Amino acid sequence: MLDILERLDPDSDRIDLLVDLVDKLRPRRAPDAAYARAQVRTLTQLLKGDPAHAWALRRYITTLLETRRHTSLYSDVGILSNDGFFTELKKRIAYRMLPPALDEIYLSDTFDRLLCREDDYLWIRAVPNADWLELFDTVSNAPPPLDATPDRARHVTLLGLLDAIRTLSCRVCALGLEPKLIHAHMEIEEVDSPFLMQNIEANNYLDQYGRLLAGELDRMEDARHLLVMLDQCEEVVLKVRRRALAAGTSVSLTYLLLAITQSVDRLRKLLFLVDTSGELPAAPTVDLLALAIESTPPAEPTISPRRAAAIDLAQELAEAHNTKYQVRGLVRDNIDLLARNVTENASRTGEHYIAEERSALRQMFNAAAGAGFIISVMAVIKILMSYMHRAPLIEAALYSMNYAFGFMLIHVLHFTVATKQPAMTAARIAAALHESDQKSSRYRQADADSMAALVNKVFRTQVAAVLGNLATVIPISFLLALGYWYLTGHHLVNVFKARHLIEDSHPWQSLALLHAAIAGVWLFVSGLVSGYYDNKALYTRMSLRVQQLHTLRRLLGKDRLARFGRYVEDNLGGLMGNAVFGLLMGTTAMVGFLLGLPLDVRHVTFSSANFAIGFVGLDYNVDLETVGITLLGIALIAMVNLLVSFGLALWVALRARKIRFYHGFALLRALGRRLRMAPLDFFIGPKADFLSEQPKGVE
């Protein structure tokens, strides 16, 4: 470091030596806080021991700042552009492969050379603020030589901050007048938009600031009025987000709200740094370089709020610069908010899959039994389709149509498939975790007893649904196979095919459990699709769109078309989720065949139907051991279907709501107590659950 300090040219505007100096401070491993802190302290001691070097460094950094433009660093870095989510995503992917051309006249582009590693922000944050401020104070308080000319770094930095405030204010105004935001919050059209008013206040504030700097004013008003307008802008964003839980949202609206939030937050930080409160700021600085010149030692050992805010923003800018081309952060920030709305719709659907009382359990059992009848017919149709010996792609298309139309028919008739429930009930459990939290921390905790009660209800509902499916799918499939033999004189499947259908459910001599896990993943995906289209139907007002179809209006009439539109809006998610699940079920084996991989799906209901059909095909000549192992395999397939779909859905729902549940052992103990006190509640439930606020129906 001493060699670099000796080579400093105070009047040079080349950044090479500063890059070398930062490289000396940088540890080999970014989390190595001890090394970084030791290097910063060493540099501070070197500068304290030689004030001439400290002045040379001050003058060198001053020259760098005077010859570069500051505004984009404060107004752009760490804030989403106005391009939209997909344009920004495409740009980041392209820049990850081939970075853009840089122009070092901009201070933000200069950072690309100064902080060249993506993890530089880690060691910058690891160094205590007090050590950074001691280094900056040593440089800023270095005694100048007698022939030194005054520098303009403070003035240039201040103007950059003020220009950034004006830029951000105009950006917030433009974003706040976007049609998609007005569509989501129509009250903006009825009153003065806070997004427009904040821009008016910002311009008035900056005009006063300019007159103050020009000496035309002795003092100016603070930014209190502007901050009130920014508060109102944030209130609009919160209202739109709350309304989106009921009215739906989109990727573009989510991106827009996030961009507004980031811009308003940056505006607040810049206003805090430049606001005079009756006096000109002695050091209006935010970035590390400006702090090195303009910071002044605190009067007390504690760090003043303005200096703490400045260095906090400096670290924020460093992190934002290092991660500005990261795809993961962009996707995480936007998709997490969108996933919250998708899982919220799934959560409301999940309420219909939780039976509170025995009467609701009976309804669930009956609905599942109805689905079992349709699945039996689907299993027979699939076997008949296989005899057509079509090309793999045509065969997969036929299977997909069979599955999709069958599952959609189950939905239309208000029946239920047991394995479709976990993706919905998981979102409902996540909602319960969120609702039960009374803390303000980011990661929420929940009451174990109330969670145990909900898990108890979910478990017995799942048991009732599975038993309802199996109560009809096995006997109906048996009767259909038997009826086919009576009608045609030969079995639905030959002996070889019958053995194959039974052996496919063997728990360890086949890939049944792996294929069951694949089916669980598809169940989870179909749940996400359902939530997505429920959200889309609400956001786009699908009912009104359907009612504008003139052809349907002539065919159905106005009243019937209105009812049909409401039905589409209420059921689009369920229909699309079932259609996608059928498509995935029908194409998995074909994709495995094309890739040469053992891919297939095993669904508990179809495995049960295949067992019954195979049993008839073998003329009932199946030994008890094979029957027992097959039934065990079917039970394990059901468990894997449920656990995989439920686990993935719960993980996404918890992540979307930023929840971490820390009471796993407490929940298990609470479930154990309930099992000892009322074991039948896990299977048949009470006659009436007085703890519930109101009975919930089933779908």
Structure tokens at 239: 């209202």
| Three-state secondary-structure class, residue 145 | coil
181, 162 Cβ separation under 8 angstroms: no
Per residue in 92-107, pLDDT tens? 888 888 888 877 788 8
Angle subtended at Cα 114 by Cα 309 and Cα 333, rounded to the nearest 5 degrees: 55
d(CA 504, CA 512): 6
- CA distances in angstroms from 176 to 81, 86, 341, 367, 541, listed in the order given: 14, 20, 21, 47, 22
CA-based radius of gyration for the chain: 33
Residue 443 has pLDDT above 60, yes or no: no
Please name the residues in contact with 100: beta carbons below 8 A apart, sequence gap of 6 or more. Answer: none
Q: Check residue 569 and give its pLDDT.
A: 87
d(CA 124, CA 30): 9
Residue type at 302 in one-letter notation: T
Residue 584 has pLDDT above 60, yes or no: yes
| Three-state secondary-structure class, residue 659 | strand
Structure tokens at 639: 């468990």
DSSP letters, 278-307, are TS--S----SHHHHHHH----SSSSPPHHH
Structure tokens at 274: 């430049």
The mean pLDDT of 432-436, rounded to a whole number, is 54
Per residue in 615-646, pLDDT tens? 998 888 888 888 999 999 999 998 898 888 87
Q: What is the pTM of this model?
A: 0.68
pLDDT class for 279, splitting at 50, 70, 90? very low
Pick the range with the lowest mean pLDDT from 256-265, 277-286, 457-466, 633-642: 277-286
The CB-based long-range contact list for 543-548 (8 Å cut-off, 24+ gap) reads 543/568, 543/569
Per residue in 118-172, pLDDT tens? 888 888 888 888 888 888 888 888 887 766 666 666 677 788 889 999 999 999 9
DSSP letters, 125-140, are HHS-HHHHHHHHHHHH
Per residue in 51-71, pLDDT tens? 888 888 888 888 888 888 888
58, 18 Cβ separation under 8 angstroms: no
542, 535 Cβ separation under 8 angstroms: no
d(CA 78, CA 287): 13
293 closest CA partner among 165, 163, 155? 155
Q: Check residue 292 and give its pLDDT.
A: 37
Structure tokens at 152: 């303009």
